């Protein structure tokens, strides 16, 4: 079965950096678009970033553009989210997602597989 496991979350101060990892089993991260979403308490789950295959294009939500970087290591079957200059608005549960497609997708229903999430808390 397909399993996505996130790691790297924690409590950090504003301005800090953090790197999230998503390791996959039963699915090759190089064979489809992978993404990161996040959900703050009481809010809707929102798109953060995705990375496509082929030309390997990356896309980011406006709130994180220039601060976050999504990447993949096909040999390790792992997707990463490097987060720099964190601020309290980044506090949320972060989820790794995968789809069998290869384009750019920003909505939850376009992703078939999800990890359990990892919590990020950024203090001011």
In 1-124 the beta strands, taken as DSSP E runs, fall at 3-7, 10-13, 18-25, 34-39, 46-51, 58-60, 68-73, 78-83, 92-98, 113-114, 118-123
Position 56 scores a pLDDT of 75
**Cβ contact 22:82 at 8 Å:** no
Position 106 scores a pLDDT of 96
Position 114 scores a pLDDT of 98
With a cut of 50, which residues of the chain have pLDDT below it? none
Q: How many CB atoms lie within 10 A of CB 22?
A: 27
């Amino acid at each position: 079965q397909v399993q996505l496991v996130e790691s790297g979350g924690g409590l950090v101060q504003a301005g800090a950096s953090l790197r999230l990892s998503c390791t996959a089993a039963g699915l090759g991260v190089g064979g489809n678009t992978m993404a990161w979403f996040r959900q703050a308490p009481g809010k809707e789950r929102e798109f953060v970033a995705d990375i496509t295959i082929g030309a390997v294009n990356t896309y980011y939500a406006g709130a994180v553009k220039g601060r976050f970087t999504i990447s993949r290591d096909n040999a390790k079957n792992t997707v990463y989210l490097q987060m720099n200059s964190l601020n309290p608005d980044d506090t949320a549960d972060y989820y790794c997602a995968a789809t069998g497609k290869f384009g750019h997708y920003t909505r939850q229903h376009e992703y078939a597989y999800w990890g359990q999430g990892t919590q990020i808390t950024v203090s001011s």
